[in-house]
Amino acid sequence: MERVVLHVDANSFYASVEVLYHPELRGRAVSVCGDPEERHGIVLASTREAKRRGVKTGMAIWQARQVCPELICLRPHYDLYIHFSKLIRAVEEGWTDRIEAFGLDENWLELTERGMTMARGARIADQIRLRVREELGITVSVGVSFNKILAKLGSDMKKPDAVTVLDAESWRGKVWPLPAADLLYVGPATRRRLMRLGVFTIGDLAAAPPETLVRAIGKNGLMLKAFACGLDDSPVRRVGVEAQIKSVGNSATAPRDVRTAEEARCMCYLLAESVGARLREGGFRCGQVTLSARTAELEISSHQLLLPRPVNSTGEIGAAACRLFRERFSESLPLRSLGLSCGRLVPKQAPVQVELFGEERRARVEALDTALDELRRRFGHRVAERGVVLADGAFAAVNPKEEHLIHPVGFLGG
């Protein structure tokens, strides 16, 4: 039985929704941008007219206006985007209940069943494309293939308002000449490492020796090589089936660039307050802490630390984050933002190896954290704050627990 997977990607989603509500902006260079006063002043989405003039997602607003002086910048309205995301999904549910989100504007659809063919899948993709355009007023591009990775690549190949089929016979000829950066999870840093190896295209990546890739980019090199070879058997989850929670995290943009170790320590504990509270709320402990940082040049890196035993206390998570900063990021200052994630989750009730000394103190700390969680739930986040964050009023004003930006769901389920 032939597997048929669609990837439906709404074109310039945020900008397209905004133009629906501002028809006078149709045909003009428009970008949806974060709030520069809160240092989220980057481009989130743009109309085709803005893209043609060189505006790219992730650009700072001032950079976008340099390449496109006539650019119109709008603030995001996430409630509208969530509403339209649900409407698109309702259209897709007319064909299958096996739908998996990849952010607000992208979904995978599993069509595999007896009698399904790639040609029939392409016809269904075209029907979805037409219905979304006629009923909702926005356009989508759809990739049709035999796995999720190639279906996503197909939806990126032809935009806007198009269907691209990558079947078993034709996909290599269409995909291998493309730049390696077009493949999912080949970001700027990985692209530079691959270029140093002489790997420029997806075909080069498919042909690269696995041991060379592992030396250059670690075990993810094997995953990327498999993707380049068209190998991906990951399933599409059915509607209503939630992925197992594998990590809990938050990130926050600092009110100004983090330039000192003390400011970084403040941000680490702010994030630990948020992540620790969410772990306790979910009934988890974590065995791994990951700290990520974005530099003033918007380059991102991350490092992990395994903990000797699962924890959910703010103090222990914050201390681990600070250790990661000292060991891995202290030479990277200044930093624009930090992110903290806790993985290797286990239920709070799961048995752990007790310590001969310190167990009573640990129980008192956890009870204090729980009491603070309840106080903040009733009276707000700032009813009680750690001394470390009060050294600077600007940093103390950051509340990462409420800074939930809408972002893609990780393909790997992390």
Residue 247: pLDDT band (50, 70, 90) is: confident
Could you tell me the strand order of the sheet in which 106-110 lies?
A: 99-101, 106-110, 5-10, 140-145, 163-166
Delineate the domains of the chain, giving CATH numbers in brackets.
13-78 (3.40.1170.60), 176-228 (1.10.150.20), 247-402 (3.30.1490.100)
- The H or E element spanning position 5 is strand 5-10
* Predicted local confidence at residue 352, as pLDDT: 63
Token duo for residue 3: 């597997």
* Predicted local confidence at residue 143, as pLDDT: 98
Residue 414 above 50 pLDDT? no
* Predicted local confidence at residue 347, as pLDDT: 87
Residue 408 above 60 pLDDT? no
CA separation for the pair 51, 29 (Å, rounded): 8
What would the mean pLDDT of 329-347 be, rounded to a whole number? Answer: 90
**Average pLDDT score, the chain:** 87
Residue 32 above 80 pLDDT? yes
pLDDT per residue over 35-75, tens digit each? 755 545 789 999 999 999 999 988 889 999 999 999 999 99
Report strand pairing: 43-46 vs 30-33: antiparallel
- CA neighbor of 400 nearest in space, from 246, 248, 257: 248
User: Are the C-beta atoms of residues 159 and 150 closer than 8 Å to each other?
Assistant: no
Q: For residue 350, what are the β-bridge partners? A: none
* Predicted local confidence at residue 207, as pLDDT: 96
- Put simply, whether the predicted model's pTM sits higher than 0.85 gets the answer no
Work out the percent of the chain whose per-residue pLDDT is above 90. 59
Where does 267-376 show beta strands of DSSP type E? Answer: 284-295, 300-311, 335-343, 346-347
* Predicted local confidence at residue 377, as pLDDT: 77
Catalytic: which of 49, 106, 273, 316?
106
In the residue annotation, 106 being an active-site residue is answered as: yes
Residue 403 above 70 pLDDT? no
CA separation for the pair 109, 127 (Å, rounded): 14
Residue 406: pLDDT band (50, 70, 90) is: very low
Residue 292 above 50 pLDDT? yes
* Predicted local confidence at residue 355, as pLDDT: 60
389 vs 342 pLDDT, higher one = 342
Residue 26: pLDDT band (50, 70, 90) is: very high
* Predicted local confidence at residue 14, as pLDDT: 95
* Predicted local confidence at residue 11, as pLDDT: 96
